[in-house]
C-alpha cells in the first residue's frame, strides 16, 4: 500500500465512521517502531506505521480509527488524549483499537545471568558489571549470550 492509497482509505473511514471530512495528510512513517500510528497536533497530519498494514486490514483500520479519534476531537476542542473520557467514548463507538499489536519479538543484544540466583537480564547496551549487581540478591552478573541484532532484524 502506498501513501496515496492510505490517504483515500483514511478519508473513506473518516466519512463513514465519523461523518466528518479529513482535510489533512495521512502518510506511512517507517521510523515508527513501537507505536501503530500518531497524530501530529500542530500539522493535524496522521502517520501510520507501515508494519501495521502487513498485519491485516482489520488492524490497519483499527489504528486509523484510533488516530482519527485524536484528530476529530482535537479539532473540535474536546478531550483528545488517551486518558480523556471523550476519547475513550468515541473510540468505543467507532470500534478503534486501544493498543497496537506487537510487530516483532523484543530485541536484545546482551543477556546477563546472576551467579547466585540465576535471574536473567536482557539489555540493549553493555553494562559495567563492576558497578551493577543483581536486583534480587546483589549477586555478580555474568554475560551468558551476545547476539548481533542487525543480522536478526527482518527489516534492516
Q: Is 67 assigned a catalytic role?
A: yes
Higher pLDDT, 9 or 154: 9
The per-residue pLDDT for 87 is 96
Give the C-alpha separation, 16 to 35, whole Å. Answer: 25
pLDDT tens digits along 63-112: 999 999 999 999 999 999 999 999 999 999 999 999 998 876 667 899 99
Give the gyration radius of the chain's Cα atoms: 21
Identify the active-site residue in 47, 67, 89, 142.
67
- For a pLDDT cut of 70, what percent of the chain falls above it? 93
pTM of the model: 0.70
Mean per-residue pLDDT, 34-54: 94
Q: Output the CA–CA distances (angstroms, integers) from residue 58 to 53, 72, 94, 146, in the order listed.
A: 9, 21, 13, 37
Categorize the per-residue pLDDT at 149 as very low, low, confident or very high, splitting at 50, 70 and 90. Answer: low
Q: Give the pLDDT of residue 153.
A: 46
Band (pLDDT 50/70/90 cuts) for residue 152 is very low
Amino acid at each position: 500500500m502506498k501513501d496515496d492509497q492510505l490517504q483515500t482509505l483514511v478519508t473513506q473511514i473518516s466519512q463513514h465512521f465519523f461523518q466528518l471530512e479529513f482535510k489533512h495528510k495521512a502518510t506511512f512513517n517507517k521510523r515508527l517502531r513501537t507505536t501503530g500510528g500518531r497524530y501530529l497536533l500542530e500539522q493535524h497530519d496522521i502517520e501510520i506505521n507501515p508494519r501495521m498494514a502487513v498485519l491485516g486490514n482489520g488492524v490497519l483500520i483499527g489504528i486509523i480509527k484510533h488516530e482519527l479519534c485524536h484528530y476529530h476531537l482535537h479539532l473540535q476542542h474536546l478531550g483528545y488524549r488517551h486518558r480523556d473520557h471523550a476519547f475513550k467514548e468515541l473510540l468505543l463507538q467507532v470500534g478503534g483499537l486501544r493498543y497496537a499489536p506487537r510487530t516483532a519479538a523484543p530485541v536484545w543484544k546482551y543477556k546477563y545471568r546472576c551467579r547466585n540466583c540465576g535471574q536473567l537480564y536482557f539489555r540493549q547496551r553493555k553494562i559495567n558489571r563492576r558497578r551493577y549487581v543483581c536486583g534480587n540478591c546483589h549477586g555478580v552478573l555474568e554475560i551468558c549470550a551476545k547476539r548481533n541484532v542487525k543480522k536478526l532484524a527482518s527489516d534492516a
